[in-house]
Structures are given as C-alpha cells and as structure tokens.
Amino acid sequence: MKLIQKLGMALMLCIGVATVSVAADPLYDKARGTTPLLETTTPPVLGNAVNDDVRRTRNYAQQPPVIPHRIDGYQVDKNFNKCMDCHSRNKAEASQAVPVSITHYHDRDGNTLEQISTRRYYCVQCHVGQENVAPFVENKFQDVDSLLLKALQNSANALKKH
C-alpha cells in the first residue's frame, strides 16, 4: 500500500513540475503569429466589402452564391433573419433580390416546410461576402464544361493534323 502511495506522490510531483515549466513558456498558435495565446491581439482592419449587387458566376457545381452586397450589422440570430426581408420567396419580387432556393425550405427528411428550414437559416454559414483583395492561393479550378470543351477542341485539332 505504501508503494502505491509513493508512486502516486511521485506522479503528482512530476505533473506539478511539468505544469510549472509549461506555464513559464508562453503558448503560441501559428494562426495568431507571434502573439502568445493568452495575450489580446489587435484585429486586422476590415477591407472594403464589394457592394455592387452584381451576381457572380459560380466557380464549381453546388457552390452557394456569394453575397454581392454589404451585410455589416445584419441581424441573423434565432429571433430574426435580416436576409429574409428581401430574399424570402414572398418578398423577392418586390425587392428584386434573388429568392432563397426551394431547397432551403426542406427539412433533413426532404419534407417541404412553410418556413425556411433551421438547417439553412444562418445564411453566412454557406454564403460569404466578397472583398476586393488578391487571392491567397492561385485558383486553377476548371469546371466540367470547360474540360469537355478543351477535350473536343483537342480531338478536333488531332483530326485536322491527320
């Protein structure tokens, strides 16, 4: 029994020493740069969001449309969804906004609802605003139509050469 107590005490001592040594060195997260985790950072200055209401071409199949206008200050919470003031199916014609897709009115079992589904209620979980900034990574995506057109052109060029 005394052996178990001694091993327990040794373990507690090791944990205490490890905790003190970790607490002495600040912890860092690469996303925060050189600022330690426990220090407050100054957030970067927000850019000037695109606000031209021009519909953007989607880059890939099933991409949610991007938001072509500013949404700062829009209330989207469990009590109210400001987006639905213009984009609900019964207000879209008057506002000239794109109506919310019918898929947003389906529950997880595929049943059509009278109101927007809670799964699709928080718009910005899928739809994002745009900023006039250079992309971090070069986009080399090609949609299926472009790939098929290139394949047809390549085969037509190969036939011409023979």
153 within domain boundaries: no
15 within domain boundaries: no
| Residue 53 structural domain | 49-132
160 within domain boundaries: no
Tally: H helices and E strands in the chain: 4, 2
3 within domain boundaries: no
Q: Answer yes or no: are the C-beta atoms of 97 and 87 closer than 8 Å.
A: yes
Q: How many domains does the chain have?
A: 1
C-alpha to C-alpha distance for 145 and 78, rounded to whole angstroms:
40
44 within domain boundaries: no
pTM score over 0.85: no
Question: Terminus-to-terminus CA distance in the chain, angstroms?
Answer: 91
List the pLDDT tens digit at each of the 162 positions of the chain.
687 888 888 888 878 776 655 556 788 887 777 888 888 888 777 778 888 888 888 877 789 999 999 998 999 999 999 999 999 989 999 999 999 999 999 999 999 999 999 999 999 999 998 888 887 788 888 888 889 999 999 988 888 887
- For residue 94, what is the domain's CATH number? 1.10.1130.10
Tokens of 97: 């906004």
C-alpha to C-alpha distance for 74 and 3, rounded to whole angstroms:
64
110 within domain boundaries: yes
12 within domain boundaries: no
159 within domain boundaries: no
